[in-house]
Structures are given as C-alpha cells and as structure tokens.
C-alpha cells in the first residue's frame, strides 16, 4: 500500500490542482477508511454526471470506499449509466465493449497475476443488468465456469437505463417500461442461484441504504476473489428516471424493495470462510473449539 501512484513531484506542489493535492493528503490510499468515516477523508469518487438522486451512484460510491486496497484495484465497466461515475474515480478504469467486461477482466487479472506475482491487484467488474445478464451473459458465465479470480458487481436497476427504458432479463415480470409498453412477460433471472451453480464462491445481494452491509459484502467479495475464486454481488440500484421514482423517495423505494424481492442473501463456501478467517482475521469464520475436544 503506498501513495506512489499519486505523489506530487517536489517543487510542483503549488501547480497541482487542489483536488489532486487534497487526494494525496487526505485520500484513502495507504489508509484504512470506512463508510462510517465519510466526510473525514477525500473520497476516490465524488463528482459524477449521473441523474440527481440516482441510487446507483450512492452504491458505486460506497463500493469504492469499501475496496480493501483502492490503490491496487482496477475497475472494469462498459456502456450503461454506471460507467459515467466509475470512470470519474481516482482509480484505474478499463472500458470493456458492451457484453465483454468479464472476458476483459479475465485477461486483465491473469496478466496482473503474471506481472505482479507478489502483490494483490484486485479486478472488479461493475456493470448494469443489461450488460451482464443479457448481452454479457455468456462471457460472465464462462468467467465463473473457469473460476477466474475477480469480483463481478451487477448494478441492477432492472432496466436499460442509459438507452431509455428497454426491459432486461433482470426486469420483474409485468413491469411496464417506455420500451416495454405491454409489460414484461418473463420472470426476473435468478442470477444469484446461477452464480452459485456456475462456481462463484461468494454471492451476496444488497441494497444501497445499508452502507455498512454494502461495505462488508464488497470487502469480503474482493478479498475472497484474490485467492479462492470468482465472487458475485448483485445490488439493487433503482433507476429513478425510468421507474418514475421521485428523488426524495429513492431510499424509501429501496427499503420497500429490500423487504420484498431484494432481501439480504449471502452465500459463502467453507473454503472461502476458512480463507477469510486464516488470512484476513475474520473472527466470525474461525472454527469454534468445542470444550473437551481432543485435537488430532
């Protein structure tokens, strides 16, 4: 962990933009920051061009705070609303063609493991439900079948938001959208179940109005992907424009959806539990010793 990537060359301090200097002096690189400290450090993502009140932006902001080593994390995104914010963050961003994110991330991660065998370089895909569940479905599934070691985060707003409201595989049955005026005729894809079947070793669903939970699942997912296998997070990130949610009701909607179809789910394999306990000190996964038990 270091500030090597962003340090200011001696003598240039007064010419560097204030934003940049603030990031070097008060940013998250080389420190442990948490969502509970927001306001006390300079975040890697602050400004973005997304719609006012968009829950996706809140989620992306929390996810980036939660990255265990943001200075050694590379995000991979694609066409869709999320990349408008992700690409503004002070961490490297790679743009994969629409549908290609998980193929790009596979190559990137393998290359990084070869180039930096002694260092963790985390790769995190963040893309929309259309980009992952529809057009990128095959690339995503095959990255999981191959057990590629990176995290996939679906920004699930249950619609193609960036292109004006087409239904996606993640839209719920019956939902009426601008470009699906007769209502969707099929069920929402059960992607968490598919992720488990395809080989993900950690799977969680979250909504953005519980920042500590978002932080916890993202951290676990990124750590586990370093050495155990692929991990998948599915986040409800409503589109207030296409679903006509008033901006002051966005969090209320997330609360309601969490009680209904987005209840918190977390799946973790025994191997991943043990890895978190042994390598990263997660006490909740440490095997409890039974009093009187004789160790082999």
Ligand X SMILES: Cc1ncc(C[n+]2csc(CCOP(=O)(O)OP(=O)(O)O)c2C)c(N)n1
Residues of this chain that bind ligand SF4 (CB under 6 A) = 50-51, 54, 56, 81, 157, 161-162, 239-242
Query: Any contact of residue 23 with ligand X (CB under 6 A)?
Result: no
DSSP letter, residue 290: P
Q: Considering the complex, what minimum distance in angstroms separates the CB of residue 241 from ligand SF4?
A: 4
Q: Which of ligand X, ligand SF4, none sits in contact with 240, Cβ below 5 to 8 A by type?
A: ligand SF4
CB nearer to ligand X: pick between 127 and 201: 127
272 vs 147: CA distance, rounded Å: 13
Whole-angstrom CA distances from 170 to 77, 132, 184 are 18, 10, 10
Site for ligand X in 155-194 (CB under 6 A): 155, 157, 159-163, 168
Q: Rounded to 5 degrees, what are φ and ψ at 15?
A: -95, -15
Helix 250-259 and helix 55-66, axial crossing angle in degrees, nearest 10: 70
User: Residue 53, class by beta-carbon neighbours within 10 Å (0-12 exposed, 13-18 middle, 19+ buried)?
Assistant: middle
Using CB positions, name the residue nearest to ligand X: 128
CB nearer to ligand X: pick between 139 and 276: 139
Which tokens go with 157? 């707003």
CB nearer to ligand SF4: pick between 81 and 272: 81
Query: Any contact of residue 144 with ligand X (CB under 6 A)?
Result: no
| Helix, strand and coil in the chain, % to nearest 5 | 40, 15, 45
Q: Specify the stretch interacting with ligand X by CB under 6 A; choose among 31-39, 68-76, 79-87, 254-262.
A: 79-87
Among 27, 70, 77, 130, binds ligand X (CB under 6 A): 130
104 vs 96: CA distance, rounded Å: 6
Interacting residues with ligand X (CB under 6 A): 79-82, 97-99, 128-131, 155, 157, 159-163, 168
């Amino acid at each position: 962990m270091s500030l090597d990537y962003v340090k200011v060359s001696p003598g240039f301090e007064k010419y560097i933009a204030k934003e940049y200097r603030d990031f070097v002096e008060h940013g998250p690189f080389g420190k442990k920051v948490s969502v509970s400290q927001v306001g006390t450090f300079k975040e890697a993502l602050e400004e973005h061009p997304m719609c006012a009140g968009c829950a996706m932006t809140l989620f992306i902001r929390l996810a980036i705070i939660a990255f265990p080593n943001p200075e050694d994390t590379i995000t991979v995104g694609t066409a869709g609303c999320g990349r408008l914010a992700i690409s503004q963050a002070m961490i490297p961003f790679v743009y994969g063609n629409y549908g290609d994110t998980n193929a790009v991330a596979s190559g990137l991660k393998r290359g990084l493991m070869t180039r930096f065998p002694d260092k963790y370089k985390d790769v995190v895909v963040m893309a929309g439900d259309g980009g992952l569940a529809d057009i990128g479905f095959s690339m995503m599934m095959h990255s999981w079948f191959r057990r590629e070691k990176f995290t996939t985060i679906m920004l699930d707003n249950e619609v193609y938001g960036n292109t004006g409201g087409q239904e996606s595989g993640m839209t719920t049955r019956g939902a009426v959208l601008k470009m699906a005026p007769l209502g969707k005729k099929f069920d929402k894809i059960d992607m968490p179940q598919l992720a488990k079947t395809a080989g993900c070793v950690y799977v969680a669903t979250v909504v953005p109005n519980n920042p500590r939970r978002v932080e916890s699942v993202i951290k676990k997912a990124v750590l586990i992907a370093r050495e155990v296998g692929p991990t998948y997070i599915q986040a409800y990130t409503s589109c207030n424009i296409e679903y006509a949610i008033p901006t002051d009701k966005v969090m209320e909607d997330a609360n309601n959806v969490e009680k209904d179809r987005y209840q918190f789910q977390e799946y973790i394999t025994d191997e991943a539990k043990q890895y978190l306990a042994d390598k990263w000190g997660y006490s909740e996964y440490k095997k409890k010793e039974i009093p009187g038990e004789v160790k082999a």
